[in-house]
Amino acid sequence: MTHEHNHEEELHVQHITVIDENGNEQLCEVIHVHESPEFGKSYVFYSMVGAEEDEDGSVEIFVSSFVPSENGEDGELTPIETEAEWDMVEDVLNALEDENEE
C-alpha cells in the first residue's frame, strides 16, 4: 500500500484562481484569510504565483472580500468598497508584516 503526500497541503499552502478584468485566469497563493465580525465578511489576502519581487524583496499583495459558495468549496471574490473596510484591511496587513519581521 502506498501513501502519497501532497507537500503543499502539509505546508497549508492554498491556491485560488482569480479571473482578471480581461477574463484571464491567474493562479494566486493565499497569504491570509481574515474574518471580520465588524463587517460580517471574510477577506482573503493573496499574491500572484510567480510574481516578481521588487527591489525591496516584496511582492504585490491583493485583498478582496470573499463570499463562500453554498458547498463551501469555492466562492466569489468581490472588491472592497468602503474606506472603513480598507482601513481595517491595512491594519491586518500591517499586523501580518510585523509578525513576519519577528
Cβ atoms within 10 Å, residue 34: 19
Residues of the chain with pLDDT under 50: 1-10
> What pLDDT digit, counting tens, does each position of 8-22 carry?
444 566 888 888 788
pLDDT at 96: 86
Quick check: pTM over 0.85? no
> Phi and psi of 34, rounded to 5°?
-120, 125
Query: Would you list the domain boundaries of the chain?
Result: 12-99
pLDDT at 28: 92
Report how far residue 45's alpha carbon sits from residue 61's, in angstroms, rounded to the nearest whole number: 7
What was the pLDDT predicted at 3? 37
| pLDDT 10s digits, 81-95 | 899 999 999 999 999
